[in-house]
Amino acid sequence: MRLKSFLKSRLMFFLVIADTASMVLCVAVAYLLKFESFSGLLGEYGGKFIFFLLVDLVTTTVCFLLFRIYERVWQYPVFNDYSDLFLGFLVSKLVSNLILYKHWDKAFLTWFLTYFILSGVAIITIRLTLRWVYNFLQEKKIRQSKEKSAGKIKVMIIGAGEAGRMIMSELAGNRFHYTHKVVAIIDDDKKMHGKYLSGIKIYGGRDKIIKVARELEVDEIYLTMPSASAATIKKILEICKQTDCKLKRLPGMYQFINGQLTATQLKDVEYIDLLGREPINVDLNPVFMSLTDKTVLITGGGGSIGSELCRQIAASKVVRRLIILDIAENGAYDVQQELKGRYPELDLVVLIGSVRDEGRLDEVFSEYRPDIIYHAAAHKHVPLMETSPKEAVKNNIFGTLHLAQAADRYDAERFVMISTDKAVNPTNVMGATKRVCEMIIQAFNRTSKTDFVAVRFGNVLGSNGSVIPLFKEQIANGGPVTVTHPDIIRYFMLIPEAVALVLKAGCFAKGGEIFVLDMGTPVKIAELAENMIRLSGYKPNIDIEIKFTGLREGEKLYEELLIKEEGIQKTTDDLIYIAKPTEIDSLELFTKLSDLENNIEHFTRFDIIDKVREIVTTYRANNSEYNEHKQSIGVMN
C-alpha cells in the first residue's frame, strides 16, 4: 500500500509540473502568435502577463484539486474523467477572468482565446500521451514476460478487485514467482476492459473466459471474488469448467476483511461451489434454549455426523456437560482435542464403548444421567453390510434397542436417532436395519416418558467414506473414477447443514415422529464425477476415465425420503417435514427382535436377511447371492 501511495503521489506531482509548464508555454506561444515578437512581453506588458500567469496557474491548480483531476487513473481514463477535466478547466478560466476582468485590454482578447484553446489542447495531450506511453510500456512488459514465462504455470485471475490484486502481489513476491505467471485478468466491470492491472491486461468479462484461456494456453484459473454470491460463483464456474483449466478459489470474506489472504490459501474448487445455492442458515436459538443446562450424550461422536453435532452443541456454550461415546478411539480423540482447544471451559467427557454393550451403557447412564441423547453410532456402508449383515443387525438394531432401553430406564428427556433415506423401501441390509431402528423408536415412544424421534436424510458431502473423497483420491491417482451406474442419483447436503437441521428437528419433538429433511434437488453421480474431473483441470474420458462398474450389492438407482403410506406434514420450518407414523405392532416387533437376538449367532447371513425381511415388509433385497440362494430353494424375493 505504501508503494502504491508513493507511485500515486509521484504521478500527481508529475501532472502538476506538466500542466504548469504547458500553461507557461501556451502563454508565450499565444503572445507570439498575436504580437509576432516578445518585445512587448519583456517590456511594458511584462508585469501584467506575469500577474495573469500566476493567477491562472493558482486557479487552475486549485480547481483541478477540487475536481480531483490529479487523483484520476490517467493510465486508463473513462469518459467521466475527461468530462470532469473539461469542467474543471472551464471553471478555472472563468475564475481567472473574474479576478482579472478590470485589467483586460481589448487588444488581448484574441490572445486570450488563443491561449484558452492552446492550454486546453495541451492539458488533454499530456494525459493522452501518458496513457499511450503507459500502454506501450505495458505491452512491452507483456511481451517480455511471455518470453520469461516459458515453462511456468499460466494463471488467469477472475476478479480485478482488491482480493485479486492481493493474490497477484503474492504470486509476484514469493516462491510462486518461479513457478506461476499471471497472464490474464477477467472482470465483469466494463470500465476496466482493455486496461492493465500490475502490467496484466484485463481482457473483458466472463464471456471472454473460454476464448482467452485457449488463446493464452492458461493452465490454472483463480477465482478471487470472496464476496460473490453462490449463484454468481456457480455461473462463472460453469463457464470455467469448459476450459480444462485447474480451478482454485479464495476461502471467503473473513480472511479478506482481516487482510490475511495469501496465495497459499487458494483452495481447489469444490463440487459444492457448483450447487449454486447459499448455505442453509438455521436459527438454532430455540435449540440452544432447549439444551440449556442439560447433559447431552452423543453416540458415534467421532464420526462425520456425530463430530459435527459435538461442534455445534459445544459452540452454543449452554450445555452443562457434553458426553461423547464412541467405539473408535482415534475419531473420539481427534474431536476431544479439537473441542478442548476451542472451548476449554466446556465440561467434556469422552468415553470409549459400544452401544452393543448393555453393561457399558448402564454404567454411562447411571453415572452421568444424560438428559438428551443424539444417536449417531451406526454401521452405514451399504456394500460392507451386505457381506456382514450380522454386524449390521448387532450394531444398528440392537445398539439402538439397548440405547433406547437405557434412555427409558433412566428417564432421559429426549432421544434423537439419525436415520437415512435408505430406510425407505430398503433394498439393502443397512437401510433395512435403519428402518427397524425407526420402528423401535416409535414403539418405545408409546410407553416411555422419553420423547423418541428419528431424523431421516440423504447423503452428506464430504462425510467419511462418501463419494466426494473417493472421487478426489481417484482423480489424484490418475483415474479411473468409478461410478456404479450412468443414471444413479443421490440427494446431497453439507454436513453442518444436515446437523443443524437435525438439532432443529429434535427441538420440534413431541414423540414418535420421523422427521424428514428437505434435501433439495437430487444429483446425478455421473455428472458429479465429470464436474470434479473438470474442476481438477482434466478432461473426462480423455485425461481421466469414468468407469461404470454396475450397481453394488444392495444399491438402488433412486433413494426415497418417504414411505408411500407415511404421507407428510409440514412443520414451522420449510426444510423439515414429519412423516405420518405407520401402524406398528409393538408386541410383535419386540417378539421378533428377541428371537433374532437370542439366535443370531446360529443364523447364517441369509437367515438374518430373512429375519429382517419378516420385520420390514417393504424390504426387497437387492443382493445377488441372497437371491440366488432363494431361487435354489425355490423361493422368490
Residue of 370, 311, 298, 366 lying closest to 337 (CA atoms): 311
User: How crowded is residue 78: how many other Cβ atoms within 10 Å of its Cβ?
Assistant: 13
- 10 Å CB burial of residue 494 (0-12, 13-18, 19+) is middle
- Which three cell numbers, joined as nine digits, stand for 90? 472551464
User: How crowded is residue 144: how many other Cβ atoms within 10 Å of its Cβ?
Assistant: 11
- Which three cell numbers, joined as nine digits, stand for 497? 447443514
Can you say how many angstroms the Cα of residue 433 is from the centroid of all Cα atoms in its chain? 35
User: How crowded is residue 98: how many other Cβ atoms within 10 Å of its Cβ?
Assistant: 10
Please tell me what DSSP assigns to residue 6: H
Coil, helix or strand for 544?
Answer: strand
Please tell me what DSSP assigns to residue 536: B
- Name the active-site residue from 154, 201, 422, 556: 422
Residue of 404, 393, 412 lying closest to 441 (CA atoms): 404
Q: Could you tell me the CA-to-CA distances from 39 to 32, 50, 111, 170, 525 in Å, in that order?
A: 10, 15, 15, 61, 90
Helix (H) or strand (E) holding 586: helix 586-599
Q: Which long-range contacts (CB under 8 A, 24 or more apart) does 281-285 make?
A: 282/497, 282/500, 282/501, 282/503, 282/504, 282/573, 282/575, 283/504, 284/312, 284/316, 284/500, 284/503, 284/504
Q: Beta strand pairing status for 414-420 and 321-326?
A: unpaired
Altogether, the residues listed in the chain come to a count of 637
The answer to whether residue 211 is catalytic is: no
> Which ranges of 149-282 would DSSP assign to H, the alpha helix?
162-173, 209-215, 230-240, 253-257
- Which three cell numbers, joined as nine digits, stand for 70? 490529479
**Angle in degrees, CA 66, 70, 71, rounded to 5:** 90
Contacts of 177 (CB under 8 A, 6+ apart): 171
Residue of 541, 502, 540, 542 lying closest to 519 (CA atoms): 502
Greatest Cα pair distance, the chain, in angstroms, is 129
Task: Give a three-class secondary structure readout of 454-478.
Answer: EEEECEEECCCCCHHHHHHHHHHCC
Active site residues: 422
